[in-house]
Amino acid sequence: MDNKVIAHDGIVVLNKENKIIVFNEAASRITGFQNRDVISKQGDFLFSSSDVKNLLLNQCLTSGEVFSNISLSINCSNNKKINVTASISPLSQPSHGIIGIILVFRDAQ
């Protein structure tokens, strides 16, 4: 994978309980939330619409469906919302199946 892409894309990993287990530097830069403040927190605060969590994230967790290049609105630490282009993929382990989801996003502006 191209390191330049990773450095610019926000990466958030949520476990099955919807707790944030990874929040990279680019995710902090884009949203304004600091890694230390969000790790182990419920990921709901990031999403502007409950539809995202209820539909996309749950669908990815239950069926393993991948969503690519979708438009989402996410919340920032300054109480503003920004539009991002995102991909959502299941995180799986061979012996445990799907254990979470990976959200990769970039500012759409």
Q: Would you say 105 and 84 are in contact if contact means Cβ atoms under 8 Å apart?
A: yes
Map out the domains of the chain with their CATH numbers: 3-107 (3.30.450.20)
Residue 16: closest CA among 109, 100, 106, 96: 100
**Worst-scoring range by mean pLDDT, 4-8, 40-44, 85-89?**
4-8
For the chain, what is the mean pLDDT? 89
More confident residue, 44 or 30: 30
Question: Does the pLDDT of residue 108 top 60, yes or no?
Answer: yes
Provide the 10 A C-beta neighbour count for residue 61. Answer: 20
Residue 48: closest CA among 86, 83, 90: 83
For residue 96 the two structure tokens come to: 């445990």
Q: What is the pTM of this model?
A: 0.88
Question: Does the pLDDT of residue 68 top 70, yes or no?
Answer: yes
C-alpha–C-alpha distance, residues 80 and 65, integer Å: 29
**Per-residue model confidence as pLDDT tens digits over 43-55:** 989 987 766 666 7
Listed in sequence order, the residues at least 6 apart from 48 whose beta carbon sits closer than 8 Å to its beta carbon are 72, 73, 74, 75, 81
Q: Which residue has the tokens 């539809």?
A: 51
